[in-house]
Amino acid sequence: MITENTKARLLDGAVVAARIKQEVQDEIARMVETSGYRPCLAAVRVGDDPASAVYVRNKIKASEEVGIRSEHHALPESTSTAEMLALINDLNQRDDVDGILTQLPLPRAIDETTIIEAIDPAKDVDGFHPMNVGRLAMGDPAALVPCTPLGCERLLLESGIETTGAHVVIIGRSMLVGKPLALLLMRKGKGADATVTVAHSRSRNLAEISRTADILVAAIGQPEFVRSEFVREGVVVLDVGINRVGEQASEKGYRIAGDVAFEEIASKTRAITPVPGGVGPMTVAMLMVNTVTACENQTELAA
Protein backbone atom coordinates (compact mmCIF):
# COMPACT_ATOMS: atom_id res chain seq x y z
CA MET A 1 0.00 0.00 0.00
CA ILE A 2 1.23 3.52 -0.79
CA THR A 3 1.45 5.61 2.37
CA GLU A 4 1.01 9.37 2.79
CA ASN A 5 4.79 9.76 2.58
CA THR A 6 4.90 8.19 -0.86
CA LYS A 7 5.06 10.44 -3.90
CA ALA A 8 4.75 7.70 -6.51
CA ARG A 9 1.96 7.51 -9.03
CA LEU A 10 0.19 4.17 -8.89
CA LEU A 11 -0.13 2.53 -12.32
CA ASP A 12 -3.53 0.88 -11.92
CA GLY A 13 -3.57 -2.00 -14.38
CA ALA A 14 -7.12 -2.92 -13.41
CA VAL A 15 -8.48 0.42 -14.65
CA VAL A 16 -6.56 0.27 -17.94
CA ALA A 17 -7.49 -3.38 -18.44
CA ALA A 18 -11.18 -2.57 -17.96
CA ARG A 19 -10.96 0.07 -20.68
CA ILE A 20 -9.24 -2.37 -23.06
CA LYS A 21 -11.81 -5.07 -22.36
CA GLN A 22 -14.58 -2.61 -23.18
CA GLU A 23 -12.89 -1.91 -26.52
CA VAL A 24 -12.73 -5.66 -27.17
CA GLN A 25 -16.39 -6.06 -26.24
CA ASP A 26 -17.36 -3.31 -28.67
CA GLU A 27 -15.31 -4.91 -31.45
CA ILE A 28 -16.91 -8.31 -30.86
CA ALA A 29 -20.37 -6.74 -30.91
CA ARG A 30 -19.51 -5.25 -34.30
CA MET A 31 -18.32 -8.63 -35.58
CA VAL A 32 -21.49 -10.36 -34.41
CA GLU A 33 -23.69 -7.67 -35.92
CA THR A 34 -21.98 -7.72 -39.32
CA SER A 35 -21.20 -11.43 -39.68
CA GLY A 36 -23.01 -13.34 -36.96
CA TYR A 37 -19.67 -14.81 -35.90
CA ARG A 38 -18.36 -14.76 -32.34
CA PRO A 39 -14.68 -15.57 -31.55
CA CYS A 40 -13.92 -18.71 -29.56
CA LEU A 41 -11.08 -19.35 -27.10
CA ALA A 42 -10.16 -22.89 -26.03
CA ALA A 43 -8.25 -23.18 -22.75
CA VAL A 44 -6.42 -26.41 -21.93
CA ARG A 45 -5.37 -27.23 -18.35
CA VAL A 46 -3.72 -30.42 -17.11
CA GLY A 47 -3.76 -31.55 -13.49
CA ASP A 48 -5.22 -30.12 -10.28
CA ASP A 49 -2.83 -27.31 -9.44
CA PRO A 50 -4.97 -24.73 -7.56
CA ALA A 51 -3.15 -21.70 -8.97
CA SER A 52 -3.56 -22.93 -12.56
CA ALA A 53 -7.25 -23.56 -11.93
CA VAL A 54 -7.69 -19.99 -10.70
CA TYR A 55 -5.80 -18.52 -13.65
CA VAL A 56 -7.87 -20.43 -16.18
CA ARG A 57 -11.10 -19.59 -14.38
CA ASN A 58 -10.21 -15.89 -14.52
CA LYS A 59 -9.44 -16.10 -18.23
CA ILE A 60 -12.70 -17.88 -18.98
CA LYS A 61 -14.61 -15.31 -16.92
CA ALA A 62 -12.96 -12.44 -18.79
CA SER A 63 -13.84 -14.10 -22.09
CA GLU A 64 -17.48 -14.33 -21.14
CA GLU A 65 -17.50 -10.68 -20.03
CA VAL A 66 -16.32 -9.40 -23.41
CA GLY A 67 -18.45 -11.79 -25.48
CA ILE A 68 -15.89 -14.41 -26.48
CA ARG A 69 -17.13 -18.01 -26.55
CA SER A 70 -14.93 -20.21 -24.41
CA GLU A 71 -14.14 -23.86 -23.91
CA HIS A 72 -12.34 -25.25 -20.87
CA HIS A 73 -10.60 -28.58 -21.44
CA ALA A 74 -9.53 -29.82 -18.00
CA LEU A 75 -7.39 -32.95 -18.34
CA PRO A 76 -6.26 -35.30 -15.55
CA GLU A 77 -2.72 -35.27 -14.16
CA SER A 78 -2.13 -38.64 -15.83
CA THR A 79 -2.54 -37.18 -19.33
CA SER A 80 0.34 -38.11 -21.64
CA THR A 81 2.05 -35.94 -24.23
CA ALA A 82 0.42 -38.00 -26.98
CA GLU A 83 -3.05 -37.55 -25.49
CA MET A 84 -2.60 -33.82 -25.17
CA LEU A 85 -1.26 -33.61 -28.71
CA ALA A 86 -4.40 -35.33 -29.95
CA LEU A 87 -6.54 -32.64 -28.29
CA ILE A 88 -4.37 -29.82 -29.65
CA ASN A 89 -4.57 -31.28 -33.14
CA ASP A 90 -8.35 -31.47 -32.90
CA LEU A 91 -8.54 -27.82 -31.78
CA ASN A 92 -6.17 -26.81 -34.59
CA GLN A 93 -8.49 -28.40 -37.16
CA ARG A 94 -11.70 -26.86 -35.87
CA ASP A 95 -12.85 -23.78 -37.78
CA ASP A 96 -14.96 -22.65 -34.83
CA VAL A 97 -11.93 -22.31 -32.52
CA ASP A 98 -9.91 -19.13 -33.06
CA GLY A 99 -7.51 -19.21 -30.12
CA ILE A 100 -5.82 -21.95 -28.10
CA LEU A 101 -4.04 -21.46 -24.79
CA THR A 102 -2.34 -24.07 -22.66
CA GLN A 103 -2.01 -23.17 -19.00
CA LEU A 104 1.62 -23.46 -17.95
CA PRO A 105 3.42 -25.08 -16.31
CA LEU A 106 2.40 -28.51 -17.51
CA PRO A 107 3.11 -31.67 -15.48
CA ARG A 108 6.64 -33.00 -15.87
CA ALA A 109 5.39 -36.05 -17.76
CA ILE A 110 4.29 -33.81 -20.63
CA ASP A 111 6.85 -32.33 -23.03
CA GLU A 112 6.00 -28.64 -22.79
CA THR A 113 8.03 -27.61 -25.84
CA THR A 114 6.36 -30.24 -28.02
CA ILE A 115 2.92 -29.00 -26.99
CA ILE A 116 3.75 -25.33 -27.62
CA GLU A 117 5.17 -26.11 -31.05
CA ALA A 118 2.12 -28.22 -31.94
CA ILE A 119 -0.32 -25.31 -31.63
CA ASP A 120 -1.26 -23.65 -34.91
CA PRO A 121 0.71 -20.34 -34.87
CA ALA A 122 -2.40 -18.56 -36.12
CA LYS A 123 -4.28 -19.74 -32.99
CA ASP A 124 -1.35 -19.29 -30.59
CA VAL A 125 -2.90 -16.55 -28.43
CA ASP A 126 -0.17 -17.03 -25.80
CA GLY A 127 2.41 -16.01 -28.42
CA PHE A 128 4.83 -18.77 -27.43
CA HIS A 129 5.15 -20.62 -30.77
CA PRO A 130 8.63 -20.26 -32.33
CA MET A 131 7.05 -18.82 -35.48
CA ASN A 132 5.41 -16.00 -33.50
CA VAL A 133 8.61 -15.41 -31.51
CA GLY A 134 10.53 -15.18 -34.79
CA ARG A 135 7.99 -12.77 -36.26
CA LEU A 136 8.25 -10.61 -33.16
CA ALA A 137 12.06 -10.57 -33.45
CA MET A 138 11.73 -9.47 -37.07
CA GLY A 139 9.30 -6.70 -36.18
CA ASP A 140 6.41 -8.33 -38.02
CA PRO A 141 3.15 -6.67 -36.90
CA ALA A 142 1.31 -9.92 -37.64
CA ALA A 143 3.03 -11.68 -34.73
CA LEU A 144 0.90 -12.80 -31.81
CA VAL A 145 2.85 -11.46 -28.82
CA PRO A 146 2.96 -13.02 -25.32
CA CYS A 147 0.27 -11.40 -23.21
CA THR A 148 2.29 -10.22 -20.22
CA PRO A 149 4.93 -8.33 -22.25
CA LEU A 150 2.18 -6.92 -24.46
CA GLY A 151 0.32 -5.85 -21.32
CA CYS A 152 3.44 -4.13 -19.95
CA GLU A 153 3.93 -2.17 -23.15
CA ARG A 154 0.26 -1.21 -23.33
CA LEU A 155 0.21 -0.13 -19.68
CA LEU A 156 3.15 2.20 -20.28
CA LEU A 157 1.50 3.56 -23.41
CA GLU A 158 -1.91 4.09 -21.82
CA SER A 159 -0.30 5.70 -18.77
CA GLY A 160 1.60 8.24 -20.84
CA ILE A 161 5.02 6.86 -19.91
CA GLU A 162 7.40 7.79 -22.74
CA THR A 163 9.55 4.91 -23.97
CA THR A 164 11.25 6.61 -26.93
CA GLY A 165 14.91 6.94 -26.05
CA ALA A 166 14.32 5.65 -22.52
CA HIS A 167 16.68 3.14 -20.94
CA VAL A 168 14.64 0.11 -19.91
CA VAL A 169 16.25 -2.47 -17.64
CA ILE A 170 14.46 -5.82 -17.50
CA ILE A 171 15.49 -8.12 -14.65
CA GLY A 172 14.60 -11.58 -15.96
CA ARG A 173 15.38 -13.34 -19.24
CA SER A 174 12.53 -15.83 -19.60
CA MET A 175 10.71 -16.52 -22.85
CA LEU A 176 7.48 -15.66 -21.02
CA VAL A 177 8.39 -12.07 -20.16
CA GLY A 178 11.98 -10.83 -20.35
CA LYS A 179 13.04 -11.70 -23.88
CA PRO A 180 9.78 -10.89 -25.70
CA LEU A 181 9.37 -7.64 -23.76
CA ALA A 182 12.86 -6.59 -24.82
CA LEU A 183 11.98 -7.31 -28.46
CA LEU A 184 8.73 -5.35 -28.13
CA LEU A 185 10.32 -2.27 -26.63
CA MET A 186 13.15 -2.24 -29.18
CA ARG A 187 10.74 -2.10 -32.10
CA LYS A 188 10.23 1.12 -34.00
CA GLY A 189 7.12 3.12 -33.25
CA LYS A 190 4.79 4.30 -30.54
CA GLY A 191 5.29 2.61 -27.18
CA ALA A 192 8.72 1.35 -28.22
CA ASP A 193 12.01 2.84 -29.54
CA ALA A 194 13.64 2.15 -26.17
CA THR A 195 17.22 1.22 -25.31
CA VAL A 196 16.91 -2.10 -23.51
CA THR A 197 19.19 -3.95 -21.13
CA VAL A 198 18.22 -7.49 -20.11
CA ALA A 199 19.76 -8.50 -16.79
CA HIS A 200 19.26 -11.54 -14.56
CA SER A 201 20.27 -13.21 -11.31
CA ARG A 202 23.78 -13.95 -12.61
CA SER A 203 24.47 -10.48 -13.95
CA ARG A 204 27.46 -8.85 -12.28
CA ASN A 205 26.72 -5.65 -10.37
CA LEU A 206 22.99 -6.18 -10.86
CA ALA A 207 21.94 -3.38 -8.52
CA GLU A 208 24.30 -0.99 -10.29
CA ILE A 209 22.83 -1.93 -13.68
CA SER A 210 19.31 -1.57 -12.32
CA ARG A 211 20.00 1.95 -11.04
CA THR A 212 20.68 3.15 -14.60
CA ALA A 213 17.06 2.47 -15.63
CA ASP A 214 14.51 5.08 -16.59
CA ILE A 215 12.02 2.22 -16.60
CA LEU A 216 12.68 -0.91 -14.52
CA VAL A 217 10.81 -4.17 -15.11
CA ALA A 218 11.10 -6.84 -12.42
CA ALA A 219 10.35 -10.31 -13.76
CA ILE A 220 12.77 -12.54 -11.89
CA GLY A 221 10.28 -14.70 -9.97
CA GLN A 222 11.69 -14.01 -6.50
CA PRO A 223 9.56 -12.23 -3.91
CA GLU A 224 10.70 -8.70 -3.05
CA PHE A 225 14.03 -9.23 -4.79
CA VAL A 226 14.31 -5.62 -5.95
CA ARG A 227 15.25 -3.49 -2.94
CA SER A 228 16.01 0.19 -2.43
CA GLU A 229 19.58 -0.08 -3.70
CA PHE A 230 18.27 -1.26 -7.09
CA VAL A 231 16.40 1.96 -7.94
CA ARG A 232 17.25 5.60 -8.40
CA GLU A 233 14.98 8.54 -7.73
CA GLY A 234 12.30 9.09 -10.38
CA VAL A 235 12.33 5.64 -11.98
CA VAL A 236 9.18 3.97 -13.34
CA VAL A 237 8.78 0.41 -12.03
CA LEU A 238 6.71 -2.42 -13.49
CA ASP A 239 6.49 -5.38 -11.12
CA VAL A 240 5.59 -8.54 -13.05
CA GLY A 241 6.07 -10.96 -10.16
CA ILE A 242 3.27 -12.78 -8.36
CA ASN A 243 4.60 -14.81 -5.44
CA ARG A 244 3.01 -16.48 -2.44
CA VAL A 245 4.84 -15.63 0.77
CA GLY A 246 4.00 -17.48 3.96
CA GLU A 247 2.39 -15.29 6.61
CA GLN A 248 0.85 -16.81 9.71
CA ALA A 249 -1.10 -13.67 10.56
CA SER A 250 -3.00 -13.95 7.28
CA GLU A 251 -6.27 -15.89 7.17
CA LYS A 252 -5.00 -17.81 4.13
CA GLY A 253 -1.60 -18.40 5.68
CA TYR A 254 0.15 -16.43 2.94
CA ARG A 255 0.24 -13.07 1.23
CA ILE A 256 0.80 -12.13 -2.41
CA ALA A 257 4.03 -10.28 -3.08
CA GLY A 258 5.68 -9.02 -6.23
CA ASP A 259 9.33 -9.17 -7.22
CA VAL A 260 9.72 -5.65 -5.82
CA ALA A 261 9.88 -4.61 -2.15
CA PHE A 262 7.03 -2.17 -2.73
CA GLU A 263 6.96 -0.32 0.59
CA GLU A 264 10.72 0.09 0.54
CA ILE A 265 11.09 1.58 -2.94
CA ALA A 266 7.74 3.17 -3.84
CA SER A 267 8.68 6.58 -2.40
CA LYS A 268 11.70 6.74 -4.74
CA THR A 269 9.72 6.06 -7.91
CA ARG A 270 7.87 8.33 -10.31
CA ALA A 271 5.33 5.58 -10.99
CA ILE A 272 4.95 1.97 -9.90
CA THR A 273 2.57 -0.96 -10.39
CA PRO A 274 0.95 -2.64 -7.39
CA VAL A 275 0.79 -6.40 -6.83
CA PRO A 276 -1.88 -7.52 -7.25
CA GLY A 277 -3.75 -5.13 -9.54
CA GLY A 278 -0.92 -3.95 -11.78
CA VAL A 279 0.42 -6.09 -14.60
CA GLY A 280 -1.83 -9.10 -13.82
CA PRO A 281 -5.11 -7.60 -15.12
CA MET A 282 -3.27 -6.38 -18.23
CA THR A 283 -2.15 -9.92 -19.03
CA VAL A 284 -5.75 -11.15 -19.09
CA ALA A 285 -6.91 -8.12 -21.10
CA MET A 286 -4.25 -8.71 -23.76
CA LEU A 287 -5.31 -12.35 -24.02
CA MET A 288 -8.72 -11.03 -25.04
CA VAL A 289 -7.06 -8.72 -27.58
CA ASN A 290 -4.97 -11.59 -28.99
CA THR A 291 -8.05 -13.79 -29.32
CA VAL A 292 -9.87 -11.17 -31.38
CA THR A 293 -6.74 -10.55 -33.45
CA ALA A 294 -6.36 -14.27 -34.13
CA CYS A 295 -10.01 -14.48 -35.13
CA GLU A 296 -9.77 -11.52 -37.50
CA ASN A 297 -6.59 -12.84 -39.08
CA GLN A 298 -8.17 -16.22 -39.77
CA THR A 299 -11.65 -15.12 -40.81
CA GLU A 300 -10.97 -11.77 -42.51
CA LEU A 301 -13.53 -10.10 -40.25
CA ALA A 302 -11.36 -7.10 -39.39
CA ALA A 303 -12.95 -3.71 -39.95
Q: What is the rounded CA–CA span in Å between residue 67 and residue 62?
A: 9
Q: Are 295 and 39 within 8 A, CB to CB?
A: yes
Q: Evaluate whether 258 touches 242 at the Cβ level (below 8 Å).
A: yes
Instruction: Put residue 40 in one of left, alpha, beta given phi > 0 → left and psi -120 to 50 → alpha.
Output: beta
Strand partners, 75: 46
Catalytic residue among 59, 123, 179, 268: 59
**Annotated catalytic, 111?**
no
CB neighbour class for 117 (10 Å; exposed up to 12, middle 13-18, buried from 19)? middle
Phi, psi of 116 (to 5 degrees): -60, -45
Catalytic residue among 21, 103, 123, 179: 103
- Would you call 103 a catalytic residue per the annotation? yes
Catalytic residue, candidates 98, 126, 239, 259 = 126
Q: Is 59 a catalytic residue?
A: yes
Give 280's Cβ-side CA count (13 Å radius).
16
Question: Annotated catalytic sites, by residue?
Answer: 59, 103, 126
